[in-house]
A and B are shown apart, each in its own frame.
Chain A
């Protein structure tokens, strides 16, 4: 685990979530080669939900998502990701906001 990855896990650990198991609200479509914006998400996503696999695919684990919408702004129009809000009551639950 990289230093950045352990640091973000420490941060997300403070937060409260109700994860909708098996129903991720964001999906990445399979791609030949990630676009610049999709690749940027592996760095720019504030919860570091996006990762580049050894096979060159960008994948998402949305459990720590704070629903900011940055990935939607960068990658929904190109069709690379499918973005929705979690079902009512699920997802991040800010204690302070």
Chain B
């Protein structure tokens, strides 16, 4: 089908693939990008919050024409039980700046825009093309790909695997292991449409301002999980993600968990009267630093979700994806400009550069967090939220009980639920995992 040989083939047109293709094409490389969807974005799912700095590094003037929904001025972190929520809200007028820091986006629209930039930079983008296999030479170096289009193989000096969390090609080729059930979360989400003014009224926002809620608690039914609500311009993304291993063990149905969240008394009024226009599901890498696979080899690099580059604690993914895509591309450009071959030895530059970035540094900081939260999910996602809710209610409700007795009741409830040793050990382990 395609006779010419490319400098690079990028598999996938999500955040990491677009960042890689754009960066390489901008540096004059002959780039082919392959995407299995009808259009870039048609297979991609995200909450979604987009962090400006990481995109600015790639397309500095993105604000001129990128489809951005709302810039965030408020973030609510909730702890929920079945009837209540408590938590921290942070809202600041400082976020109303000339170049806002975080935006909500709708991926199908954003990815189309990003892909247009990739094409303008000179890359060839071929959609509706599923890559089925990597092509290797006699020495096992990756030299190209096979697709489901007729005409066979396409060759390149290097293949950038930006194939997403499932990572079918890389895992089948034995470049890395398949993600384990305990290192990926299944997230389900609905798009609730409401008039712009209604969203602004409900969240106390001015035009263009956005608010997000992220919540843990009994909503995940003792599974390690996180609920989220993001305000877009005229829609609300509402969803919840929990570990696949926990879903399998509990046999909970994701859409039932989502419907329960929708009907929670703290959430229901926020989406009342909305029209649902889409239901989506996607996996999220949750394994953290310890789950990062081999990132480069002879003729290939892997970026983004396929490389498990996701910071579950801070709920950052697409910025790590964009950054890893950009850095991999810059490494490839450097190797190419020195006229060196795309060998494992030379492509190690990508890992060296990535180690110096926030991507690896942040993931390393939280390397013990997945183990802690995933093995104690009942305590962290049910017991503590319930205790916190009881404590808050006990504190707020005025009923003639002396305050000393109220405090004693709260302390007793914590000790009864987790024991003194359990409380101390949870605190110490959480502190160490956070450091």
Binding between chains A and B: yes
Chain A interface size, under 10 / 10 to 19 / 20 to 34 / 35 or more: 35 or more
Please name all residues of chain A whose beta carbon is closer than 8 Å to the beta carbon of B130 when the two chains form the complex. 85-88
Tell me if B208 counts as interface (CB < 8 A to partner A). Answer: no
B186 touches A44 (CB 8 A): yes
CA distance A97 to B14 in the complex (A): 11
CA distance A46 to B45 in the complex (A): 14
Tally of contacts, chain A with chain B, CB under 8 A: 138
Find B46's partner among A73, A92, A97 (CB 8 Å cutoff): A97
CA distance A43 to B168 in the complex (A): 24
Can you name the residue of chain A whose Cβ is closest to the Cβ of B41?
A97
- Name the interface residues of A60-77: CB closer than 8 Å to any CB of B: 66-70, 72-74, 76-77
Please name all residues of chain A whose beta carbon is closer than 8 Å to the beta carbon of B168 when the two chains form the complex. 84-85
B251 touches A44 (CB 8 A): yes
CA distance A37 to B41 in the complex (A): 30
Known: A14-B279, A76-B178, A77-B178. A96 touches B253 (CB 8 A): no
User: B38-52 vs A: 1/0 string, CB under 8 Å?
Assistant: 100111111010000
Most central of B186, B253, B279 by chain A CB within 10 Å:
B279
CA distance A92 to B39 in the complex (A): 12
B247 touches A70 (CB 8 A): yes
Kindly provide the distance from the CB of B271 to the nearest chain A CB, expressed in whole angstroms. Answer: 15
Kindly provide the distance from the CB of B252 to the nearest chain A CB, expressed in whole angstroms. Answer: 7
Stretch of A3-11, A26-34, A51-59 on the interface side: A3-11
Kindly provide the distance from the CB of A48 to the nearest chain B CB, expressed in whole angstroms. Answer: 7
Tell me if B276 counts as interface (CB < 8 A to partner A). Answer: yes
CA distance A73 to B188 in the complex (A): 16
Please name all residues of chain A whose beta carbon is closer than 8 Å to the beta carbon of B254 when the two chains form the complex. 44, 46
Tell me if A22 counts as interface (CB < 8 A to partner B). Answer: no
A44 touches B37 (CB 8 A): no
Stretch of B197-205, B280-288, B292-300, B353-361 on the interface side: B280-288
Please list the residues of chain A having a beta carbon within 8 angstroms of any beta carbon in chain B: 4, 7-8, 11-12, 14-15, 18, 36-37, 40, 43-44, 46-48, 66-70, 72-74, 76-77, 84-89, 91-97
Task: List 26 interface pairs A-B (beta carbons < 8 Å), by A numbering.
Answer: A11-B190, A14-B277, A14-B279, A15-B280, A37-B248, A44-B251, A46-B281, A66-B282, A68-B186, A68-B282, A68-B283, A70-B186, A73-B180, A73-B244, A74-B181, A86-B36, A88-B148, A89-B38, A93-B37, A94-B41, A94-B107, A96-B191, A96-B278, A96-B280, A97-B45, A97-B48
